[in-house]
């Protein structure tokens, strides 16, 4: 197979010409090729209808290992060949999916949550397309949305949170200068959702304290949102690190920083106030 980086570079060049499939298909359409399906956060019921139908028809499901609930695999594709992508590089994954597809098998690539968030889906798609295998995305419920449902809050909340940041803390694969958590928290009206940061909650909070942020800023940590062992730990920038360490969670949690996590102090929205009593003109509104 072609070197994956060469495939990415070639795809970047090719994208100067518009991909006709962008106009021809809407998100949710079943298309030719290998679908990259968002499995959702864990509960099999949170897989989309289209995702479920594709998985049920699949001969080969390449999934994200322990990030995908085995209950979902058992419920919807027990008869398919199931392969975990954990520990496999592109050089192994791409030929596996390509060969199965070329043999006429129905192949599904199942990512946790939504493939567009920290999923590294595009590099697999570009490598497959370079090998002549079409691909497309079927969206899923990202874990931040499952966490906000668990917390019974909104990530945007009138008067409290006008913006949402999906981000991750510095570490082996993110340099310190590319860690922007402190800047998001500084903005004040942002709900900051940390992926890939369960093992580093205490260090992350220590950095926020060092940067002078209010120690009482609310933080909620939702472990395994929508799984049977889901757990919620609530606290503040000052207290949450110790609480997460005491619980022993090192992975699979979503950290929500900001006043929306406490869902207090918000104001009624214009939608069900001034907007509801508008004089008839149609325009875009919050829902």
Ligand X SMILES: C[S@@+](CC[C@H](N)C(=O)[O-])C[C@H]1O[C@@H](n2cnc3c(N)ncnc32)[C@H](O)[C@@H]1O
Contacts with ligand X, residue ranges (CB under 6 A): 41-42, 67, 111-114, 117-119, 142-143, 146-147, 195-196, 198, 222, 224-227, 251-254
Closer to ligand X by CB, 94 or 117: give it: 117
Closer to ligand X by CB, 213 or 224: give it: 224
Closer to ligand X by CB, 101 or 195: give it: 195
d(CA 201, CA 197): 6
Give 275's DSSP letter: T
Closer to ligand X by CB, 77 or 193: give it: 193
C-alpha to C-alpha distances, 96 to 61, 76, 158, 169, 208, nearest whole angstrom: 11, 21, 48, 32, 43
Closer to ligand X by CB, 107 or 110: give it: 110
172: buried, middle or exposed (CB in 10 Å: 19+, 13-18, 0-12)? exposed
Give the shortest CB-198-to-ligand X separation in angstroms. Answer: 6
Give the shortest CB-23-to-ligand X separation in angstroms. Answer: 26
Give the shortest CB-202-to-ligand X separation in angstroms. Answer: 15
Give the shortest CB-166-to-ligand X separation in angstroms. Answer: 9
Residue 194 structure tokens: 């940390």
Closer to ligand X by CB, 111 or 213: give it: 111
Q: In the complex, which residue's CB is closest to ligand X?
A: 113
Q: What number of CA atoms fall less than 13 Å from residue 123's CA on the CB side?
A: 11
Query: What radius of gyration, in Å, describes the C-alpha atoms of the chain?
Result: 21
Give the shortest CB-128-to-ligand X separation in angstroms. Answer: 19
Helices (H) and strands (E) in the chain, counts: 10, 10
Residue 192 structure tokens: 């900051």
Question: Is residue 37 within 8 Å of 124, Cβ to Cβ?
Answer: no
Residue 4 structure tokens: 């994956």
Give the shortest CB-34-to-ligand X separation in angstroms. Answer: 17
C-alpha to C-alpha distances, 100 to 105, 119, 139, nearest whole angstrom: 5, 22, 23
Query: Taken in order 276, 282, 286, 287, is the CA torsion positive or negative?
Result: positive
Give the shortest CB-50-to-ligand X separation in angstroms. Answer: 17
């Amino acid at each position: 197979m072609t070197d994956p980086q060469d495939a990415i570079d070639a795809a970047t060049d090719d994208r100067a010409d518009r991909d006709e499939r962008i106009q021809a298909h809407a998100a949710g359409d079943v298309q030719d090729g290998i679908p990259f399906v968002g499995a959702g956060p864990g509960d099999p019921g949170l897989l989309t209808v289209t995702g479920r139908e594709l998985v049920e028809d699949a001969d080969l499901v390449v999934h994200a290992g322990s990030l995908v609930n085995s209950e979902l695999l058992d419920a919807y594709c027990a008869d398919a060949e199931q392969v975990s992508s954990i520990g496999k590089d592109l050089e192994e994954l791409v030929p596996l999916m390509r060969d199965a597809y070329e043999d006429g098998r129905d192949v599904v690539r199942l990512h946790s949550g939504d493939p567009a968030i920290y999923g590294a889906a595009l590099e697999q798609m570009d490598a497959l397309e370079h090998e002549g295998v079409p691909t497309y995305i079927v969206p899923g419920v990202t874990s931040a949305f499952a966490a906000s449902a668990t917390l019974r809050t909104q990530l945007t909340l009138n008067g409290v949170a006008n913006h949402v940041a999906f981000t991750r803390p510095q570490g082996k694969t993110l340099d310190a200068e590319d860690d922007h958590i402190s800047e998001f928290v500084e903005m004040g009206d942002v709900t900051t959702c940390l992926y890939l940061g369960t093992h580093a909650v205490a260090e992350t909070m220590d950095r926020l304290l060092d940067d002078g942020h209010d120690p009482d800023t609310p933080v909620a940590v939702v472990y395994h949102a929508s799984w049977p062992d889901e757990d919620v730990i609530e606290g503040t920038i000052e207290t949450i690190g110790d609480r997460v360490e005491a619980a022993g969670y090192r992975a699979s949690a979503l950290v929500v920083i900001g006043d929306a996590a406490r869902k207090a102090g918000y104001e009624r929205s214009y939608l069900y106030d001034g907007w509801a009593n508008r004089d008839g003109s149609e325009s875009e509104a919050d829902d």
